[in-house]
Structure 1
């Protein structure tokens, strides 16, 4: 399994713009072969911090996702609103 967390620190005022587009991307992503989970959250202590949690059957499935036009378009849309982005690959402990 290929699982990771992406945390995006947004510039002030960008949250609603990104969240308006996120549900369509979420639905398309969840429909993709190899997607096990694709969820996004806002942090209770900082509403300008978004957290995306993704799980894929393998890294190859995620690479196919990254090649999709809707994925590239969404990333291009929200990147200018970032203050910071952290990508963390996670694996089960036991």
Structure 2
């Protein structure tokens, strides 16, 4: 049984020399994203053993809410800005509630 919500785990491997700059970009954008209709939560974390790996847990009320998020100009701008800051491709994993 699903609850209709969308849960995502987004992983970003950031170039170490750009880590603080990248965190600042995310910190400035986060309040805007959290105000979107259907964005229920975004937790920004990192891994102790690999501080250049940022891991976000995201919860949206529906697939449509996530599509709205992905269609925003600031989301597109972020993707372009991150290209030069990442040490590898972003990884997004869709999670299931149980």
Using structure 1 for the length normalisation, give the TM-score. 0.90
Gaps of 5+ in 2: none
Deviations 1:2-34 (A, max 9, x none): 111011112221211111111221100100100
Tell me, what secondary structure is at the counterpart of 1:48? Answer: strand
1:3 matched to which residue of 2?
7
1:58 matched to which residue of 2?
62
1:12 and 2:23 correspond:
no
Task: Give 1:37 shift.
Answer: 0.6
1:38 and 2:42 correspond:
yes
Maintained 8 Å contact 1:26/1:39: no
Q: For residues 10 and 31 of structure 1, what CA distance do their matches in structure 2 show?
A: 26
Q: For residues 18 and 57 of structure 2, what CA distance do their matches in structure 1 show?
A: 20
1:69 matched to which residue of 2?
73
Deviations 1:39-67 (A, max 9, x none): 21111111110011111011111111111
Q: Which residue of the other structure, out of 91, 94, 97, is the alignment partner of 1:92?
A: 97
Maintained 8 Å contact 2:8/2:57: yes
Tell me, what secondary structure is at the counterpart of 2:51? Answer: coil
Structure 1 outlier segments of 4+, above 4 Å? none
